[in-house]
Amino acid sequence: MRLTLTATVLRIAVSDPRGERLPGLREADADDCYGRGLQIVARLADNWGVEPRAIGKTVFAELTVR
């Protein structure tokens, strides 16, 4: 996990070695145990995305600093 703060943005980034499994938004059913994390991130963050790495990926969320 890496936190980066600039004058305008707080960036929260998490990396893992599984590059073949890219996250995506989906609607979870009421009885699903998984599938809500990115929905929460997408609603709270001003920007989010996935960046490939040599091994794995980094998922990030950016929040505007006001």
Q: Cα separation of 5 and 62, whole Å?
A: 10
How many CB atoms lie under 10 A from the CB of residue 43?
A: 7
The residue among 4, 37, 27, 1 whose CA lies nearest residue 16 is: 1
For the segment 11-40, the average pLDDT, to the nearest whole number, is 87
pLDDT tens-digit series, residues 37-62:
889 999 999 999 999 999 999 999 99
pLDDT at 66 over 90: no
Q: Which domain holds residue 38?
A: 2-64
Predicted pLDDT of residue 37? 86
What does R_g of the chain's alpha carbons equal in angstroms?
A: 13
Q: How far is CA 28 from CA 15, 35, 61, in A?
A: 23, 5, 20
What is the count of structural domains for the chain?
1
